[in-house]
């Protein structure tokens, strides 16, 4: 009887060890995959941008470093009064496009910068801004890159009216996300507006 009991105990221990090793091996094997999936889901298109730029292994470390940095930033939502003020400023910049498109794009750029700063994002370095925004706005940060490039061309006197219109549309995509209002409703309901003809023809912004 004692021998049988000992055998059962030993067998149970061996089975437990085998199951433990299998579990650890499964976690080790599937861990990187789950890590990739989590980052891909959070960063969206920016995950692929990072992989193309750094390679997959380094991209994971880069994106996780971004998450860690942004988790330490004093980010906050805008108060209703701030949101209304920024929304009104955007309307003025957009309306200005009809008569002064170059100035309108510069004002849109500065407004986006002020909005980011108010939300708690550092704005001194463009590349760092892109990295920080990509953590929570991975689907939209490409608009910021495009708008920035067109804004630089505008300041250098190399942007035509169509490019300026595109810049304003790109800035609007990011601005709406930062403002925290639904697409196509930058202003409060009491301040709905008609878009200038140059912008009214623009299709709905992609998400």
Structure confidence by residue, pLDDT tens digits, 32-89: 678 899 999 999 999 999 999 999 999 999 999 999 999 999 999 999 999 999 999 9
Task: Note the pLDDT of residue 181.
Answer: 53
57: number of CA atoms within 13 Å, CB side? 0
Q: Which of 28-42, 94-108, 192-206 has the highest average model confidence (pLDDT)?
A: 94-108
Q: Which two tokens stand for residue 146?
A: 């495009």
Please state the rounded mean pLDDT for residues 85-100.
96
Average pLDDT, the chain: 81
DSSP SS3 for 38: helix
Structure confidence by residue, pLDDT tens digits, 173-195: 999 999 985 444 443 333 323 34
- Cα(116)–Cα(56) distance, rounded to whole angstroms? 29
Domain ranges of the chain: 2-71, 80-200
DSSP 74: -
pTM of the model: 0.72
Task: Note the pLDDT of residue 195.
Answer: 42
Q: At what angle do helices 56-71 and 2-43 cross, to 10 degrees?
A: 80
Q: Is the pLDDT of residue 21 over 70?
A: no
């Amino acid at each position: 009887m004692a021998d049988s009991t000992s055998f059962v105990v030993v067998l149970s221990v061996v089975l437990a060890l085998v199951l433990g090793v299998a579990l650890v091996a499964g976690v080790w094997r599937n861990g990187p995959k789950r890590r990739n999936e989590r980052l891909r889901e959070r960063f969206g298109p920016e995950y692929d941008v990072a992989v193309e730029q750094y390679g997959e292994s380094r991209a994971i470390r880069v994106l996780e470093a971004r998450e860690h940095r942004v988790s330490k930033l004093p980010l906050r939502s805008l108060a209703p009064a701030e949101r209304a003020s920024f929304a009104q400023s955007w309307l003025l910049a957009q309306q200005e496009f009809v008569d002064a498109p170059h100035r309108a794009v510069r004002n849109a750029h500065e407004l986006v910068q002020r909005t980011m700063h108010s939300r708690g994002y550092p704005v001194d370095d463009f590349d760092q801004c892109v990295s920080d925004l990509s953590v929570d706005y991975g689907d939209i940060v490409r608009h910021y890159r495009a708008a920035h490039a067109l804004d630089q061309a505008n300041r250098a006197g190399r942007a035509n009216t169509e490019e300026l219109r595109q810049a304003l549309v790109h800035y609007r995509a990011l601005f709406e996300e930062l403002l925290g209002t639904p697409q196509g409703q930058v202003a409060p309901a009491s301040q709905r507006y008609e878009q200038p003809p140059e912008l009214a023809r623009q299709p709905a912004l992609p998400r």
